[in-house]
Structure 1
């Protein structure tokens, strides 16, 4: 059985190749659609396309942020060379200062001066750079897979919460059906009392009461709204078994609220109005949770 996924999570991966080391972090938060933001090391522009392609395969909604921190290994001591020109200038200046009484410079001191030791620039050939990029792309995919696991875990925690709200809505619908069944009698009794008070001796009063009460009862009939609410409950349960369900559940929440509003507006009893208001409150709570569903 499939289960829903959330939209909040975190994933991380690390890698190394060809003198490079890197770490990848993937985070996501709620979003109406899928939005992927990428920040990578200079010179690896193609990674952004690979990151977005991988994210689109795994996710349908949410704001996904990917960051790659990369570092190239420093050259060893054997690769360093002395800049003879700069060293000669430092020596000339040091000798002048020594003649004036300054302490003569040491070899360590001279080598530590800026520009004396140089690390040759290493040029990566195209094949080596491509190999590093491929390895980085694999780490990006691994971080996104870890993010997917994290979002699935959130979904497993969301499912019982969402299911509980749907159960509460179903129970309120059942209560509304019971109360709605008594609306016709309540309308007739109320209308009879009112008419009897205003025109107790009017000819054909009973027939008039019957016709007017029937008309009011028709206007206050909420069976259609209750039937649609029941159908929405069934749809919500089906969607939870057919992820990704977030967008469809968003739309369904609007339909739930529309029927609940109509129920309240057509209610002819205080009890049914109270049920309708509680129903709207639970639907709003469910809507807030649905915002976290992918």
Structure 2
């Protein structure tokens, strides 16, 4: 069981590149990936999306890539001589117009955009090969943070499910008493209407009809099956959505027991079970 919230940050320093990769995630019903990468590295966006999309089933994921070249070659630098000449002439004209005897220096000229251009384009296939090891390290750190938080969440869910199971056992123990109560009520009604001369077989017929309507044995057995399924699904890597759906089914069975019940002890147990399920569903909102 893994949490949907996690964080990891790794720095990059390899083959003339310097930067960092940051992964953050938050709760979300579906998989939602937001990427923030430099325009010069936009070509590797599909690689990052495939890498993360194949490993995460749901949650809002924010991936931030910071990257720059630390080494520049002659091929990376472009000198625009014509722009420099035009700019020099215009600056001289400006100086004459202002009555100044001044000539623009090289320091001034290189500050203007377009005079010297640094080529920041990056070879996509080469860049992904360079980044891949750091991306894997970031991913492992990210997964470890989600697993740690997931273990704490799993323990809370297990505690609530144990509470739920305990109350179901109490209800099962009272199921026989509920049937006896139905029998006593029907018998009392016949005595009230007919005195002691009522037909016992007629009582049994009415009892059978009422037990079909009021018995909770089927709900108890279905809840036991749901509990077993819950434990099995909880062992899967991405189980949050399935478990939430299963909790909805369990809640319906508990509601049915509550609607059929006539015992105070069962009513109290139903309240406890509904509260446990609500706590479980709250925790599942943070499970992948």
> What TM-score range do you get, normalising by the shorter chain?
0.7 to 0.9
Equivalent pairs, count: 282
Secondary structure of 2:40 counterpart: coil
Q: Which residue of 1 aligns with 2:49?
A: 52
Superposition TM-score, scaled by structure 1 size? 0.80
The answer to whether 1:66 aligns with 2:67 is: no
1:65 and 1:117 mapped to 2: Cα distance? 35
- Contact 1:11–1:146 (CA under 8 A) maintained in structure 2: yes
Deviations 1:194-249 (A, max 9, x none): 3333x243742554334323432332221121122122222222333343322332
Whether contact under 8 Å (1:84, 1:116) holds in the other structure is: no
The question of whether the paired residues in 1 share the 8 Å contact of 2:190 and 2:198 is answered with: no
1:20–1:70 Cα contact (<8 Å) kept: yes
Aligned-residue RMSD, C-alpha: 3.2
Which residue of the other structure, out of 148, 156, 159, is the alignment partner of 1:153?
A: 148
Deviation of 1:95 after TM superposition, in Å, equals: 4.3
Secondary structure of 1:43 counterpart: helix
Deviation, 1:45, is 3.1
Rate the CA distance shift 1:117–1:87 in 2: closer, same or farther, 3 A: farther
- Whether 1:172 aligns to 2:174 is no
User: For each residue in 1:132-185, what CA deviation from the matched residue of structure 2 results, as whole angstroms up to 9, or x when unmatched?
Assistant: 342234433332222211111111111110100110011010110122120122
For the 8 Å contact 2:88–2:109, the answer to whether it is kept is no
Looking at structure 2, the residues matched to 10 and 97 of structure 1 have their Cα atoms a distance apart, in angstroms, of 59
2:254 pairs with 1:260: yes
Change in CA separation of 1:114 and 1:293 when aligned onto 2, cut-off 3 Å: closer
SS of 2:66's equivalent in the other structure is strand
Query: Structure 2, unaligned stretches of length 5 or more?
Result: none
Q: Is 1:86 equivalent to 2:87 in the alignment? A: yes
Q: 1:143 to 1:123 in 2, by over 3 A?
A: closer
CA distance in 2, matches of 1:120, 1:177: 80
The answer on 1:232 being equivalent to 2:229 is no
The whole-number CA distance in structure 1 between the counterparts of 2:225 and 2:268 is 22
Q: Which moved more, 1:142-151 or 1:32-41?
A: 32-41
Please say which of residues 51-60 and 116-125 is displaced more in the overlay: 116-125
1:54 to 1:117, Cα distance in 2 relative to 1, 3 A = closer
Unaligned runs of 5+ in 1: none
Matched, 1:25 2:19: no
Does residue 189 in structure 1 map to residue 184 in structure 2? yes
Deviation at 1:20, TM superposition (A): 3.7
